[in-house]
Amino acid sequence: MRLTTPPLLLLSTLGTQTFAFLNPDTEQHPLAHHQHDNVLNGLDRVASDDDVPSYRVPLLSLHRALVDVPSISGTENDAAFLLGQALTELNYTVSLQPLPSTSTTENPNPQPRYNVLAWPGRDARRTLHNRTLITSHIDVVPPYLPYALDHTPIPPSHPVNFTTLPATTLVSGRGSVDAKASVAAQITATTLLLTSNTIPPESIVLLYVVGEETSGDGMKHFSQTLTTGHPPSDDAPANPTPQFHAAVFGEPTDNRLACGHKGITTGTLTATGRAGHSGYPWLGRSATAGLVHALEALLAADLGSSERYGNTTVNVGVLEGGVAANVIAAEASARLAVRIAVGERRTGRGVVEGRMRDVLAGVEGGEGLGLELTGGYGPVECRCEVEGFETMVANYGTDVPNLEGEHVSYLYGPGSILVEHGDDEGLTIGDLEESVEGYKRLIKYAVEAS
C-alpha cells in the first residue's frame, strides 16, 4: 500500500520541525529549552556549539521516536507507521509492503506487518532496478526497555533540548543500538546527501524490514517479490526482475565497515535410550548420558576454520530430557546454534553438517543419536575496501544473505554487538553522529562505484 495520510498520531509530540533537514550552510533552529530539563540528573550540561552538528536535533528526535515505540518481532506495525509518516514528512514517496499473515495456536489473530519502502521526492517513480538499496530492520528483541539518557528514563512526552547534551551522553533503550540507530543514521545521511545534491534521487531507495531478529521473513518476503514480479514498484514491464546496483545494510559494527560475517544453521540433536530404574543402570540406556557425550564431542571437535572468519562454533542453547532423577532417561534433546566459518555462502552449511555427522558417528554408543538442522548458510562476504574506514568481521547473522541478487553488499552501523540485546543496550550521541558521517561517505561511494 502507498502511504498517503497519517495512519496514527505517534508523531504528535515531535512536531514538523523535528524532521526538517537543512542544507549544511543553513542556520539550525534548535528546540526551545525547557526549565524542567534541569531535574534530569545533569542532562542540562551544556555542549559546545562546535560539537553540535546541524542535523543533531532531527537525528536524535527520530531515533528517540523509534525507540519509544515498542516493536518486538511480530508486533512491528506501529513502528512501520511511525517511520512511514516520518519519511513522508521528509519528502519521500512511501509504500508499506504487507507481509502474509500466518495464524498459529499461540497467535490466532496476528496483527498486520509491513516493510517500509521510500523513494526520494514527492510522487516519485517507484523503481528499484539499478538503485542502491539503503536498508536495516525495525524489529527488536524482547523485552521492551524505555528510552533513557545517561541511564535516566525519559517519558515520551517529556521535551529534551538535545543541543545542550555532550557527545558523551549515553542514549539507551531497546533498539537504541540494534538497529534503530542505523535506521535513524541512514535516513539522516541519505537526506543530507540528497539536499546537498551529492547523489541523484533516482540512485537510491530506502527499505526497512520486519522480522530480522527471528526468521528474517521481512527481507525474505521482499526478496521473493523481486523474482515473482510483485514488488510495490513501477519497474515492470521494463525490468520485471529488478537488480540493485548495491545494498548498504545497517547493523551494529562499532562504525567499522564489515568484511563479512559468519554463517549460521540451527537445529536439534536428539538421543534415545531405554527407560529403567536408576539403581540398575545396566538394564536400560540413558539418553541424557548419550546426549552429554555427543555434545562433548561436538564442542571439542574442529568443525572448520578460516583466516577471515575464525572458528566454527557450537552453542548449546536449550537442554531437555528425562522425567525424574531416579529414572533412566528414554529421551533427551539439545537445541543448537552453529556459527559457520568455512566454505562459501551456499556451501558452508553442508560442509559443517557433514563434519558434525562424522563426529557423531564416532561417539561411543551413538546409535541412538539424531541430528536435524534447519536452513542456514555459510559465511557471508561484504565489500570493505573503502578508503577511510576501519574494518571488522562479525560473528552474528544479518539480512544480507536474505536478499537475493548479484549486487555488492556493504555492512556498517553505529553501536556495539557486545551490548545489543542486553539490559545495557545503548550508545553515545557521538557514536550516532559519527555514523551519519560514515553513512554519508559509504552511500556516496556505493552509488558511484562501478
Q: Which of 346, 377, 408 is the last residue of a domain?
A: 377
Residue 101 falls within a domain, yes or no? yes
Q: Which sequence positions are flagged as catalytic?
A: 212
Specify whether 295 is located in the same domain as 196.
no
Specify whether 176 is located in the same domain as 212.
yes
Residue 419 falls within a domain, yes or no? yes
Which CATH number is 403's domain given? 3.40.630.10
**pLDDT attached to residue 101:** 83
Specify whether 33 is located in the same domain as 152.
yes
Residue 8 falls within a domain, yes or no? no
The CA distances from residue 263 to 252, 383, 384, 389, 434, in Å, are 17, 16, 18, 23, 28
Specify whether 342 is located in the same domain as 387.
no
Specify whether 210 is located in the same domain as 359.
no
Sign of CA dihedral 259, 187, 116, 199: negative
Specify whether 95 is located in the same domain as 190.
yes
How many structural domains are present in the chain?
Answer: 2
Residue 190 falls within a domain, yes or no? yes
Specify whether 216 is located in the same domain as 342.
no
Specify whether 272 is located in the same domain as 172.
no
Residue 337 falls within a domain, yes or no? yes
Specify whether 241 is located in the same domain as 303.
no
Q: For the chain, what's the residue count?
A: 450
Which CATH number is 281's domain given? 3.30.70.360
Q: Which of 377, 405, 432 is the last residue of a domain?
A: 377
The SS3 of residue 18 is: helix
Residue 2 falls within a domain, yes or no? no
Q: Can you give the pLDDT of all 450 residues of the chain as single tens digits?
A: 555 433 333 333 343 344 444 333 333 333 223 333 332 333 334 455 667 999 999 999 999 999 999 999 999 999 999 999 999 999 999 999 999 987 666 667 778 999 999 999 999 999 999 999 999 999 999 999 999 999 999 999 999 999 999 999 999 999 999 999 999 999 999 999 999 999 999 999 999 999 999 999 999 999 999 988 666 667 666 667 899 999 999 999 999 999 999 999 999 999 999 999 999 999 999 999 999 999 999 999 999 999 999 999 999 999 999 999 999 999 999 999 999 999 999 999 999 999 999 999 999 877 899 999 999 999 999 999 999 999 999 999 999 999 999 999 999 999 999 998 999 999 999 999 999 999 999 999 999 997
Residue 55 falls within a domain, yes or no? yes
Specify whether 210 is located in the same domain as 271.
no
Task: Calculate helix-pair angle for 77-89, 180-195, nearest 10 degrees.
Answer: 20
**pLDDT attached to residue 241:** 83
Specify whether 70 is located in the same domain as 218.
yes
Looking up cell 543553513 gives: 26
Q: What is the DSSP string of 372-403?
A: EEEEEE--EE-----TT--EEEESS--SGGGS
Q: What is the pTM of this model?
A: 0.86
Residue 356 falls within a domain, yes or no? yes
Measured distance CA(54)–CA(271) in Å, rounded: 61
**pLDDT attached to residue 430:** 98
DSSP H or E run through 116: strand 114-120
Specify whether 344 is located in the same domain as 394.
no
What is the span of the domain harbouring residue 219? 16-260+380-448
The CA distances from residue 336 to 137, 315, 345, 346, 404, in Å, are 25, 6, 20, 20, 26
Q: Which of 328, 353, 377 is the last residue of a domain?
A: 377
